[in-house]
Amino acid sequence: MTAPRPASPSQPVLIVSDHTGLTAENTARALLAHFPGQPLRYLQRPFVATVEAARGVAREVRALAERGERPLIFTTITDPAVLRELEATPARVFDLLGPGLAALEEEFGVRAARSVGRYHDMHDQTSYVARMDALDFALATDDGLGNRQYGLADVILVGVSRAGKTPTSLFLALQYSLKASNYPLAEDDFEREGLPIPLEPYRSKLHGLTIDPRRLHAIRTQRKPGSRYASLEQCEYEVRQAERLFARAGLPVRDTTSASVEEIAAGIVAQLRRE
């Protein structure tokens, strides 16, 4: 194994795709997460589907190299001519599809359909429509709105304000096509012994989200500095009361303090599958 090269102050990582670039970026970030000490900056270059577009990226890469930087390219380009333009640059190119497609061609005994945007296109209309319907539902029932539609929900997230309910609901919709509602707990809800009245009929759909009060204090301070809403005392009170409510109701609970929305959503989906 060669000795590690010193990284530049912020090494450029170009995400180059012939479509949206979401697959390439997710894969690149997953790989690079194993090198936490490397300072990186991500440069998204989607819809590079022609040789001319690739030459534009190649010029950018050469300019970076001339400044003494060491660009990395992560790509899901499928057109060999377009890919060659990138491989002719001084960057280290990571072809995220090539080796895998070649192995699958050998396995299946047929050539891969190397067309643009196979993963993120709309060839699967049923899946696309389901995701859009779930997204519309999440927006319509966000933050306690549309509680009359809770019967249609796959999951209802419950927690104090700014605990991560809305981003998790939207991610569940877009990634998993789940109809996710969310309900914000307020002080009136803590005065009851049981669940808030709108949630009572849907106990089996409820998932609690909690958060460290100090983290909640920091988030709320950015939103409303100096307010009672953002005070550490108020945050500690709300989190404590919410966790007591979750315990009394026997709800599954996820801590969002240091978890990404992807981790929170994946945990909820795993819980739903177990149930």
> In this predicted model, what pLDDT tens digit does every residue of 31-86 receive, in sequence order?
999 999 899 999 999 999 999 999 999 999 999 999 999 999 999 998 999 999 99
CA distance 58 to 16: 11
Instruction: Tokens for 95, please give them.
Output: 């072809």
CATH for the 11-108 domain, from 3.30.70, 3.10.20, 3.40.50, 1.25.10:
3.40.50
Lowest model confidence (mean pLDDT) among 178-182, 190-194, 199-203, 213-217? 190-194
| Predicted confidence (pLDDT) at residue 8 exceeds the cutoff of 50 | no
Residue 90 reports pLDDT greater than 70: yes
Q: What are the structural domain ranges in the chain?
A: 11-108, 125-274
Rounded mean pLDDT, 3-22: 78
Cα–Cα distances in Å, from 117 out to 21, 24, 114, 174, 210? Answer: 9, 11, 9, 18, 38
In this chain, the answer to whether the domains covering 11-108 and 125-274 adopt an identical fold is yes
> pLDDT class for 7, splitting at 50, 70, 90?
very low
Task: Tell me what the mean pLDDT of segment 256-271 comes to.
Answer: 94
200-232 burial: b if 16+ Cβ within 10 Å, else e? eebeebbbbbbbebebbbebbbeeeeeeeebee
Give 99-103 contacts, CB < 8 A, sequence gap 24+: none
Q: State the DSSP code for 196.
A: -
Cα 111–Cα 115–Cα 116 angle in degrees, nearest 5? 150
Look at residue 227 and tell me whether its pLDDT is greater than 90.
Answer: yes
pLDDT one-digit tens code per residue, 111-157: 877 666 555 554 557 787 888 999 999 999 998 888 889 999 999 99
CATH topology for 125-274?
A: Rossmann fold (3.40.50)
- Percent of the chain past pLDDT 90, that is, above it, reads 75
CB burial string 22-45: b at 16+ within 10 A, e below: ebbbebbeeebeeeeeeebeebeb
Per residue in 239-263, pLDDT tens? 999 999 999 999 999 999 999 999 9
Phi-psi label, residue 250: left if phi above 0, alpha if psi -120 to 50, beta otherwise:
left
Pairing assessment for the beta strands 155-160 and 180-185 based on DSSP bridges:
parallel
DSSP class of 110: S
Helices 213-223, 232-249: crossing angle, 10 deg rounding:
130
- The CA–CA distances, whole Å, from 253 to 95, 135, 244, 267 equal 40, 23, 11, 10
Query: Please, are residues 180 and 134 in contact by the beta-carbon 8 Å criterion?
Result: yes
The answer to whether the CB of 155 falls within 8 A of the CB of 246 is no
Global confidence as pTM = 0.71
According to DSSP, the β-strands at 253-255 and 206-210 are parallel
